[in-house]
């Protein structure tokens, strides 16, 4: 939302949602009149008209109701065979507000169910919701995420053979602890530029400024909380872990590349599922990048890996003829 000019009270505002690419409006506060703006241009993205949105609340481990947003194409058969891409963050009080994503549309047009979780640690339900996934209460964040996955399986939106989990940056705590606590729930996981070794985060360049959010090893209670949220410390040998792709940026100043790297190495050594655990290092970007070519390649790799491992028929390797 922004003013049309310094000499006018008229406002140009832009509204979007999970299944709406967005509409620009002109608002006249004096007349209290909202009309579609002359600057509005409607894109013609394929498949948008077929998208369905469900806003749900599901019970978590302690009975607290957790918001869950689902987006999928019309005609979804709830037989457990659909691939589902479930993502979450739940940190710093950041809420997952509705927005339209062309990148997500690429998944939706492949028949993938998109699940946006709203775990504690965000601010979807206010300050108390944030503080309920903070430092010593951080386990609620990944347990809420797990509860959303269990709900999707129980109600046949997907199954453990087709469920993908994803977490980025501080969301690495969420996905890392979700797969170490419930490895049976996921077919694949993406741990993207992820905080995977919370106990050592404070020793990284960006670590001290994150201590107020996660805690410090200098305080005994907070140190134990950091241990609990540390995915690396909870990798157990002889466990059947899902397929995992860990992603790190060599020039990442926020989450040092050894954070996801150590998790990848531990999972490779411990997992007995026979599923691949890979480490992708981006040498041409950091935490993120504005270079669209690099960004598209990065997400294409993550999506292709996850859809392959979750059994999406369009992403299975072609059989090689044997002579």
Point out the residues that are catalytic: 169, 287
Buried b (16+ CB within 10 A) or exposed e, 121-155: bbbbbeeebbebbbbeebbbbbbbbbbbbbbbbee
Contact 135, 225 (CB under 8 A): yes
Separation between Cα atoms, residue 198 and residue 60, nearest integer Å: 24
Separation between Cα atoms, residue 285 and residue 292, nearest integer Å: 11
DSSP 146: H
DSSP string across 274-295? ---EEEEEESS-SS--S-HHHH
Separation between Cα atoms, residue 315 and residue 305, nearest integer Å: 8
Contact 72, 81 (CB under 8 A): no
Alpha helices in 89-237 (DSSP H): 102-108, 127-131, 139-154, 171-181, 198-201, 207-214, 220-228
Nearest to 120 by CA among 143, 98, 97, 151: 143
């Amino acid at each position: 939302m922004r003013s049309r000019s310094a000499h006018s009270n008229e406002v140009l505002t832009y509204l979007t949602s999970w299944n709406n690419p967005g509409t620009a409006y002109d608002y006249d506060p004096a007349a209290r009149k909202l009309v579609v703006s002359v600057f509005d241009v409607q894109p013609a993205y394929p498949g948008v008209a077929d998208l369905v949105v469900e806003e749900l609340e599901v019970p978590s481990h302690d009975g607290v109701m957790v918001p869950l947003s689902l987006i999928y194409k019309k005609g979804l058969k709830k037989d457990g065979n659909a691939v589902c891409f479930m993502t979450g963050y739940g940190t710093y009080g950041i809420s997952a507000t509705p927005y339209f994503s062309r990148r997500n549309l690429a998944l939706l047009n492949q028949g993938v169910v998109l699940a946006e979780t709203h775990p504690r640690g965000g601010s979807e339900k206010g300050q108390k919701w944030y503080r309920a996934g903070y430092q010593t209460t951080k386990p609620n964040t990944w347990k809420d995420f797990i509860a959303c996955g269990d709900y999707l399986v129980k109600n046949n939106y997907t199954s453990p053979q087709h469920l993908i989990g994803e977490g980025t940056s501080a969301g690495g705590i969420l996905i890392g602890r979700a797969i170490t606590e419930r490895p049976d729930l996921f077919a694949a996981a993406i741990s993207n530029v992820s905080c995977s070794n919370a106990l050592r985060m404070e020793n990284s360049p960006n670590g001290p400024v994150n201590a107020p959010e996660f805690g410090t090893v200098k305080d005994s209670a907070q140190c134990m909380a950091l241990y609990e949220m540390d995915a690396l410390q909870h990798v157990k040998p002889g466990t059947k872990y899902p397929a995992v792709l860990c992603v790190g940026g060599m020039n990442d100043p926020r989450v040092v590349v050894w954070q996801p790297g150590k998790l990848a190495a531990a999972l490779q050594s411990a997992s007995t599922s026979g599923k691949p655990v890979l480490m992708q290092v981006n040498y041409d970007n950091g935490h993120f990048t504005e270079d669209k070519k690099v960004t598209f390649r990065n997400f294409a790799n993550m999506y292709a890996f996850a859809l392959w491992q979750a059994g999406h028929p369009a992403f299975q390797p072609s059989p090689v003829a044997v002579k």
